[in-house]
């Protein structure tokens, strides 16, 4: 759930990074995304995005499905978006699992998938001269996936094992508790893995798995993204050849709106043998490439939590009460959480650390902002993103985020164009709008429950 262009760690260090390169500035002058984006659409709704890139003999193929755990709207049926990340490699009548693997070897390709709140992404990178075969095998499994009940139960068991492994982390447990506490109606209340009780019951849901696939693995939910040593005309021709017979569906999930939160909420994990931890999660905005709210929050939180910030220097360097503190807004299709997290040295200092962070957020609502620091931060966030766009898979991964958020690859340029427009007044307005005490969910890990860390 981080920005595809950067990690939280990079965001925290951007202010101390070198100035943007001339190449990055020149590229961004034409739009934040430095490569041409060519788009088309088949009559069945499948979107096709091609980004020609000078990577001789190499291409990345991404299939972005705009269905994630957000779309699991039925009680007792969570975790299925993630489940298909596994079962999609089970094979078809034409290509068994073993035959699919052999095709990948012949292509010199590596394939994988990942799931999040708003999407499931399938990707492979291989020989660009074999693009025909790459699209053939992908189109085949997206349209003709076949798995037996035995296969289904095997993969459901693997999903349960992954859940159990991940849940060994107290950070994972805390994230689950915070999401469940912060949301009452919206499906963001459960994580991508789903509720554990649903994962346990998943082996009994073979028939429902077929329903889930029939609903979401449809062309209107999917974008084919190809980046590398390719031409758009070739990609469009092959898409027509292999995907045009894919039948459009009709399902639209009934998403419940989350009611306004009216009081702070608290969750705690009691553990005396784990480093004390604090998370502060405020209700944040949905992604929009027309609103400055997200860019303003991104700039603000970078300034507040960068290593050379006043708060970081006080808590981490001078007082040494905190090992790490950082925060960033999330980019999601619906309003989600803007979170700040801190690893605290001593549990008794959690209330103090919370007070200092909250005070910094309160100060941001009215405190004047240094104009040079604002300009440097905006520049670093915008142009620094270009530095990682140096390979077909990196480019596709970055662009895919805007595809699943908005359905339009060009959204990347509209969104990053907003950074130039962010003013000090915009940042103060965003702080006032989103850092509302009643909209806060506090999560803690420590040896004892402090009663909500008042």
pLDDT tens digit sequence for 317-329: 999 999 999 999 9
Q: What CATH number has the domain spanning 265-446?
A: 3.30.830.10
What is the domain partition of the chain in residue ranges? 8-16+32-243, 265-446
Q: What is the pLDDT of residues 43-86, one digit of tens each?
A: 999 999 999 999 999 999 999 999 999 999 999 999 999 999 99
**Could you tell me the pLDDT band of residue 30, with boundaries at 50, 70 and 90?**
low
pLDDT of 249 over the 70 cut: yes
- As given in the structure block, the two tokens for residue 232 are 């758009």
Mean pLDDT confidence for 352-377: 95
- Any idea which residue has 């699919």 for tokens? 100
Task: Tell me the pLDDT tens digit for each residue of 276-321.
Answer: 999 999 999 999 999 999 999 999 999 999 999 999 999 999 999 9
Cα Rg of the chain (Å, integer):
23
3-class DSSP state of 192: coil
Would strands 277-283 and 38-41 be described as parallel, antiparallel, or unpaired? unpaired
| pLDDT for 454 | 60
Distance CA 46, CA 44 (A): 6
Residue 28: the pLDDT is 39
Does domain 8-16+32-243 bear CATH number 3.30.830.10? Answer: yes
Determine the pLDDT at residue 381. 87
Report yes or no: 333 and 70 within 8 Å, Cβ to Cβ: yes
Q: Which residues pair with 280 in a beta bridge?
A: 340, 442
Give the Cα separation of 374 and 380 in Å (integer): 10
Give the contacts of 18 (CB within 8 A, at least 6 positions apart): none
Cα gap 58→426, rounded to integer Å: 43
Q: Are 276 and 346 in contact (CB under 8 A)?
A: yes
* Closest C-alpha to 411, from 336, 333, 329: 333
d(CA 61, CA 134): 8
CA 118/CA 331 separation, integer angstroms: 10
Three-state SS for 335?
A: coil
What pLDDT, in 10s, does the model give residues 188-213? 999 999 999 999 999 999 999 999 99
For 252-275, b where at least 16 C-beta lie within 10 A, e where not — what string?
A: eeeeeebeebeebbbbbbeeeeee
Tell me if domain 8-16+32-243 and domain 265-446 are identical in fold. yes
Half-sphere exposure of 442 (CA within 13 A, CB side): 23
Q: How far apart are CA 354 and CA 86, in angstroms?
A: 40
Give the pLDDT confidence score for residue 452 in this predicted structure.
Answer: 62
User: Rounded to the nearest 5°, which phi and psi values hold at 52?
Assistant: -65, 135
Inter-residue contact 60 to 123 (CB < 8 Å): yes
pLDDT of residue 75: 94
Output the pLDDT for position 22. Answer: 36
Each residue's pLDDT tens digit, 252-273: 999 899 999 999 999 999 999 9
Locate all alpha helices (DSSP H) within 244-391, ordered by sequence. 293-305, 310-312, 350-363, 371-384
């Amino acid at each position: 759930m981080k920005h595809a262009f950067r990690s939280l760690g990079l965001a925290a260090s951007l202010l101390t990074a070198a100035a943007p390169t001339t190449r990055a500035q020149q590229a961004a002058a034409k739009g934040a995304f430095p490569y041409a984006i060519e788009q088309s659409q088949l009559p069945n709704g499948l979107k096709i995005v091609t980004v020609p890139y000078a990577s001789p003999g190499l291409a990345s193929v991404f299939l972005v499905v705009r269905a994630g755990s957000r779309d699991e709207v039925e009680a007792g049926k969570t975790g299925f978006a993630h489940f298909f990340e596994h079962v999609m490699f089970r094979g078809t009548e034409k290509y068994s699992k073993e035959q699919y693997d052999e095709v990948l070897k012949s292509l010199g390709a590596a394939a994988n998938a990942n799931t999040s709140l708003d999407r499931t992404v399938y990707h492979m990178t291989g020989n660009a001269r074999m693009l025909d075969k790459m699209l053939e095998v992908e189109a085949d499994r997206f349209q003709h996936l076949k798995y037996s009940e035995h296969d289904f139960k095997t993969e459901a068991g693997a999903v349960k094992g992954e859940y159990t492994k991940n849940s060994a982390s107290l950070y994972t447990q805390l994230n689950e508790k915070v999401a469940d506490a912060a949301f009452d109606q919206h499906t963001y209340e459960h994580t991508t893995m789903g509720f554990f009780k649903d994962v346990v019951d998943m082996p009994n849901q073979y028939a429902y798995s077929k329903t889930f696939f029939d609903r979401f693995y449809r062309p209107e939910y999917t974008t084919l993204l190809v980046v590398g040593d390719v031409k758009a005309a070739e990609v469009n021709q092959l898409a027509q050849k292999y995907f045009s017979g894919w039948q459009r569906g009709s399902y639209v999930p009934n998403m419940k709106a989350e009611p306004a939160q009216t009081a702070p909420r608290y969750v705690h994990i009691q553990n005396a043998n784990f480093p004390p931890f604090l998370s502060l999660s405020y209700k944040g905005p949905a992604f929009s490439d027309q609103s400055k709210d997200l860019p303003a929050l991104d700039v603000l939180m970078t300034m507040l939590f960068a290593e050379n910030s006043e708060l970081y220097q006080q808590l981490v360097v001078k007082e040494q009460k905190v090992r790490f503190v950082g925060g960033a807004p999330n980019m999601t299709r619906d309003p989600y959480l803007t979170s700040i997290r801190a690893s605290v040295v001593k549990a008794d200092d959690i209330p103090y650390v919370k007070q200092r962070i909250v005070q910094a957020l309160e100060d941001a609502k009215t405190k004047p902002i240094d104009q040079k620091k604002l300009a440097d931060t905006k520049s670093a966030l915008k142009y620094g993103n270009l530095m990682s766009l140096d390979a077909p898979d990196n480019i596709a991964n970055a662009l895919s985020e805007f595809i699943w958020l908005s359905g339009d690859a060009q959204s990347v340029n509209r969104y990053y164009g907003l950074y130039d427009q962010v003013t000090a007044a915009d940042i103060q307005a965003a702080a006032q709008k989103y850092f509302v005490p009643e909209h806060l969910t506090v999560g803690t890990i420590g040896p004892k429950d402090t009663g909500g860390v008042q």
